[in-house]
Chains A and B, each alone.
Chain A
C-alpha cells in the first residue's frame, strides 16, 4: 500500500530564513507527487507537482521541490520565507493510472517568527 510520511510535525523558522519540508513516500513505482498548502479558513492550494522530466520542480510562491528516486523523497524548499508562508503543508502522492486517488501525509505546520 502506498504511504506518505512527513517526519516533521511542526517547524518554526525566522522570516527571511530558508525552509525545507521533508516528504518520503512508499510506493511500488514512482508515483505522481504533489505539495499543497492550507492556510486557515482556506482550501488546500496546489504549490507544485511532479509527473516526469526535470526532478527539480518550480512552483508558485517561490517554492521548489526536488524528486530523489533513490531516497523516495520529494522535499519542499523555499530560500527565504515570508510571514505569509505560515500555514499547514501537505505532501501527497497519486498512482500513475486512471485511479486518481491522492494519499496525503499528515502535514507539517510552519510557524514564521519575526
Chain B
C-alpha cells in the first residue's frame, strides 16, 4: 500500500511556542490530506481537510488561527500549532488520499505525539 510519513514522531515544547508537523505521501500524489487529533483511549477526531493549493476546511470547533494547515504540494501538508499550550498536547495523525471520495482510500501516517510543557 501507499506510504505516508510524519515528522517528527514526537515533540516536546514549551508553552507559547509554535510547532510544525509535516505529513508526506511518499509514493503517490495526495489530492486530499486530512488531519486528526487523538486523545488517549478516545477516537480520532477530524480537525481539518486540505486540498492541494487551496485553503483547508476546518471542522466545527477547531480554531483556524491555532492550527494552521498548509497543503503546498501534492506530497506535503503541514500542521502548525501556534502558541501551543498544555491542552494542545495530543496525538496528531494525518492521512492522505489520491482522490476526493470515499472510494479513494485514506492512507494514514504513524502520528506525532505533541507534549506541551
Contacts and interface: CB of A to CB of B under 8 A. Distances in A.
Interface of A: 4, 9, 32, 36, 41-46, 51, 90, 94-96, 98, 100-107
Given A4-B43, A90-B44, A107-B43, A102 B49 contact: no
Contacts of A41: 9, 110
Interface of B: 1, 4, 9, 32, 41-46, 49, 59, 93, 95, 97, 100-111
Contacts of B103: 51
**Interface on chain A toward B: helix, strand, loop, or mixed SS?**
loop
Contacts, number: 56
B105 A43 contact: no
Contacts of A46: 105-106
Contacts of A43: 4, 93, 95, 107-111
Contact of A106 (B9, B43, B46): B43
B99 to A, nearest CB: 9
Nearest to B107: A43
28 contacts: A9-B41, A36-B108, A42-B110, A43-B107, A43-B108, A43-B109, A44-B44, A44-B93, A44-B95, A44-B108, A46-B105, A51-B102, A51-B103, A98-B100, A100-B32, A100-B97, A100-B104, A101-B49, A101-B59, A102-B46, A103-B43, A104-B44, A104-B45, A105-B43, A106-B41, A107-B41, A107-B42, A107-B43
